[in-house]
Structure 1
């Protein structure tokens, strides 16, 4: 109602201006006064016609230019606007209406549309935030030359976009590897060590040509395949701290990069994330399971309201783990004691503590890390710049 009154007010001002110019020309006379009157006529007529012109039937199509968007990256989309007539539009403003998570970005553009039926507009969002965002539609605003009459229409065109965590390519090295003849045999087989042949067996379809024992074939004319020792590595259990922290976004990026590195190197892990919602995936081994983890990390928030040591104390999924990777920015004595009580079979525990660059440890933090080392927990301070070498640094210690 207020918008209608405002638009009607603009038309009344135009009519008043036109009448005033006519009266002035009639009483004043002369070339200048009549020139002003004739100058006001086309501007006034256009403004009145614009008042009655409908822009709600304009069609809007959106094309996403960026196939996959990552946190901190660039998002690009092209808006194509179509109409059925060639009514001249002067100052036209386009705005992509977005969800509240993207309100800090600018997606506006002002153009002189003219008499064209179609118009394309490409916009970009730099340094887009991680999460699930929604593009709701396009707001189109048009006005006459002096802003006497303006119109606005919202063309709905909903589209959800996912901004994944920023993934870092890692050099993955299993944290702990043992052989069958060793003291401990893990439950999960990750690969065969082709440098250690332990015998030969009858060839089976699907065996690699490089595994064929050619010397045996030369003697017996029967295809034999080398048998290799199964190298076993303990199944990793990845746990992420979701307590509020200024380093939470970097923690999400590190967690996603670790999970991708494990899967891409044909290894296996379990994943646990606890906050307002709990996600436990007992086996992350293929791309489909990895995508499920990444989808969760895309939307996850630092919403754990209790200390994590209280939550994991009663979590049965951790009880049987033997090799744990814990990603946090704030380690505590309580967590160290809690994880050792919960995971009684734990043999390998690695904590990645995410910190800002050039931040020095306090005396209390040094003592805490010494306490963790006395409990056979490996502590690694890591910054975003060193994510790619995370596993290399673990295996150096």
Structure 2
């Protein structure tokens, strides 16, 4: 019986001994399906591990070390167990749903393995740095006027960004490259040939988005709305700028995709800082007196109202007030909205429960 036990246990003991002596050497390769995403998208990752020797491994656990900026409740999504035995190449894939906004740094891949009895365990960390940018979610904003919400709960669009930027000045013969929507059908029918409208570009006024990041509950939505307004403005050819209230960094009024990317990169990295008090004095700065102002905030305060009412051109100001639902408005906020209405400042409500139902790419 003793010899039987010896010969039965000998292969396992020999395997454990060799397992302890043979080093685990491998290289890792991570493939991200996209390195730039929008908040809420799905992150797809492929991992490939190649080792140098064919020593059999009963099991291995591959884990892509998650950065703290992911804010994962569980790390199981980034772990996979394999039973490779003699295979020298290991491949795993995983997905993370509803990825968070931010600049994420993936740093390493962790490999854990052991013998079949758990007597000997090994762990190898392979450095593998890769950056992932997750931009704010772009929202299709149905702007609701304060008047319609207070009176009958209806919807009304109030935004000069939604107004047409071109004015028709005449017609001309159709040319290659003209849009189909530009065809003047009445003139075409009268003359018997395709005629398109001629446009004169309106004088577009500059736009500055003032983002108030003090309200923690509405912070992410404020970031998304600021990004959405800026993207809409740039796509319409409107010079735009960004002024975060309470931050020394600001972006001058300019045009172009590069300028938009700079502002979106800032909004990608910005984090809520409760100790930082907003600086409302920038709302009355002389350089912004003749620009259109969008003030995005999660709460109306007396200091903010005083700065807005101190502007000369109040008709150029639109306050976008972010709330979770209609019933979250306080009595003080309703009073301030009435004051804004009396002074010519447009106030619009954006409710989170409706906004996040619709997103744009």
TM-score norm. by structure 2 comes to: 0.80
Contact 2:324 2:353 in 1 (8 A): no
**Matches of 2:126 and 2:14 in 1, distance apart?**
27
**Matches of 2:37 and 2:81 in 1, distance apart?**
26
**Matches of 2:109 and 2:254 in 1, distance apart?**
43
Deviation by residue 1:290-348 (Cα, 9 ceiling, x = unmatched): 22211111101123745435442675543443x2111000111221221343x434432
**Matches of 2:309 and 2:330 in 1, distance apart?**
25
- What's the RMSD between the two structures over aligned residues? 3.3
For residue 66 of structure 1, report the CA deviation from its aligned partner: 3.2
Where in structure 2 are the equivalents of 1:257-336 lying within 5 Å? 257-284=228-255, 286-303=256-273, 305-312=275-282, 315=285, 317-321=287-291, 323-336=292-305
What is the match of residue 99 of structure 1?
Answer: 67
What is the match of residue 175 of structure 1?
Answer: 159
Where in structure 2 are the equivalents of 1:199-210 lying within 5 Å? none
Pick one of 238, 241, 244 that aligns with 2:209.
238
- Rg larger for: 1
Pick one of 35, 38, 57 that aligns with 1:89.
57
Contact 1:71 1:165 in 2 (8 A): yes
For residue 91 of structure 1, report the CA deviation from its aligned partner: 1.9
Q: Which runs of 5+ in 2 are unaligned?
A: 144-156
Q: How many residues align?
A: 330
Secondary structure, counterpart of 2:59 in structure 1: strand
**Matches of 2:31 and 2:330 in 1, distance apart?**
51
Determine if the alignment matches structure 1 residue 372 to structure 2 residue 356.
Answer: no
What is the match of residue 119 of structure 1?
Answer: 90
Secondary structure, counterpart of 2:9 in structure 1: helix
Deviation by residue 1:244-284 (Cα, 9 ceiling, x = unmatched): 42110011111111112222233332222244441223114
Q: Are residues 122 and 38 of structure 1, via their aligned partners in 2, closer, same or farther at CA, if it must alter by over 3 Å?
A: same
Deviation by residue 1:230-251 (Cα, 9 ceiling, x = unmatched): 4334322211112242110011
**Matches of 1:51 and 1:100 in 2, distance apart?**
33
What is the match of residue 357 of structure 1?
Answer: 325
What is the match of residue 149 of structure 1?
Answer: 120
For residue 145 of structure 1, report the CA deviation from its aligned partner: 0.7
For residue 169 of structure 1, report the CA deviation from its aligned partner: 3.8
Contact 1:170 1:261 in 2 (8 A): no
Where in structure 2 are the equivalents of 1:219-234 lying within 5 Å? 228-234=199-205
